[in-house]
Amino acid sequence: MNSRRDFLQKIAGSALALPVLSSFAPRELMQADETPYQGPVLRVAILGLGSYGERVAEAMKDCKRAKLVGVISGTPSKVKTWQAKYGIPEKNCYNYENYDQIKNNPDIDAVYVITPNGLHKEQSIRVAKAGKHVICEKPMAVNAKEAQEMVDACKAAKVKLLIGYRMHFEPKTLEIIRQRKAGEFGKVLFFQGLSGFIIGDPTQWRLNKKLAGGGAMMDIGVYSINGSRYMIGEDPIWVTAQETKNNPQKFKEGVDETIQFQLGFPGGAVASCLSTYSMNNLDRFFLNGDKGFAEMAPSTGYGPIKGRTNKGELEYPHVTHQTVQMDEMSDIILQGKQPIVPVDGEEGLKDMKIVDGIFLAVQTGKKVDLKL
């Protein structure tokens, strides 16, 4: 049983996607009754055909402004299956030896890297050097040094680098951010992020230090890290952290089971977060100001997200996160659109600097100053 996938998809798909009329509503939802979309379309190849890659491919079937056109995989049988399933032409199929040749393929604009974290850096840089825009799944790398190299390589290659932050396009999340910016919670003073689930198969790559770069923090803790920043609207200036390991057989050296961490923000807010691979029922955000609060539970699963504020429930309908993400990323890459919450390499780099800070704080037992 893949408990991670279960966790994230448990309630996905149980709500209908209904039109949303709002200033930030994804465009396709507003065009339900309009003429077919005729603008630019981002042509995407997926690198890494695992379960999350397949989720993205499925979601992209409903995209208007992005299209899955290619694959990169080390497993020929997977490539065949995907070709049949998604109508991918032979000329857009690559393996891990030859995908630098993608530079000669004018029919692919961007590559979405969806592989184990430890492979992101090398693969993203190869894609950049092939002149294609890079979309890299989170966490973008296993530490800030790698993330910085990726940012630098994409700049040098003059391609865009986006990180797979699907929550940055989620309607309830964006509505809470809008309300926070409008001052509806007053002065924001506290964020809480609880991120965790009980991970299954002990042999999976997510529990392999070399491939994952860590444990729960890399996979699920980053939601609380990233969430603290977009919910509070600032970057933290210090971090403290405490690790607990109850099962050292399952969670080996360098693979974190449970970490609590606390962040301090320049405006005086604090964040209190939990990252764990040993508990379910943890997918909760809570934002508190001196005039009101917002609460999300589930806050980052594949949906539907549930959100409420001191004024009541948020009623936005569920949208498939990855569909909206890929349509919006098309606009960002092809049309220079500025997202409400950044999804670029610098944004991902900030999270990696915080991850580094958390691991250092665990190791030293001391407060670590952050310079994002």
Residues with a catalytic annotation lie at 138, 223
- Minimum CB–partner distance for residue 277 and a copy of itself (Å): 11
Verify cis geometry, omega within 30 degrees of 0, for the bond prior to 317: no
First vs last C-alpha separation in the chain: 38
- Minimum CB–partner distance for residue 185 and a copy of itself (Å): 10
Nearer to a copy of itself, 17 or 279 (CB): 279
Footprint on residues 176-195 left by a copy of itself (CB under 8 A): 189-190, 192, 194
278 binds a copy of itself, rule: CB under 8 A: yes
- Minimum CB–partner distance for residue 182 and a copy of itself (Å): 18
Nearer to a copy of itself, 173 or 262 (CB): 262
* Alpha-carbon separation of residue 241 from 30, 358, 360, 362, 365 (angstroms): 44, 6, 9, 5, 7
How many residues contact a copy of itself, by CB under 8 A?
A: 32
246 binds a copy of itself, rule: CB under 8 A: yes
37 binds a copy of itself, rule: CB under 8 A: no
258 binds a copy of itself, rule: CB under 8 A: yes
310 binds a copy of itself, rule: CB under 8 A: yes
Query: Per-residue contact track with a copy of itself, 338 to 357, x per CB under 8 A?
Result: --------------------
260 binds a copy of itself, rule: CB under 8 A: yes
292 binds a copy of itself, rule: CB under 8 A: yes
- Minimum CB–partner distance for residue 42 and a copy of itself (Å): 41
250 binds a copy of itself, rule: CB under 8 A: no
281 binds a copy of itself, rule: CB under 8 A: yes
**Contact positions toward a copy of itself, by CB under 8 A?**
189-190, 192, 194, 198, 240, 242, 244, 246, 258, 260, 262, 264, 268, 270, 272, 274, 276, 278-282, 288-290, 292-293, 310, 365-367
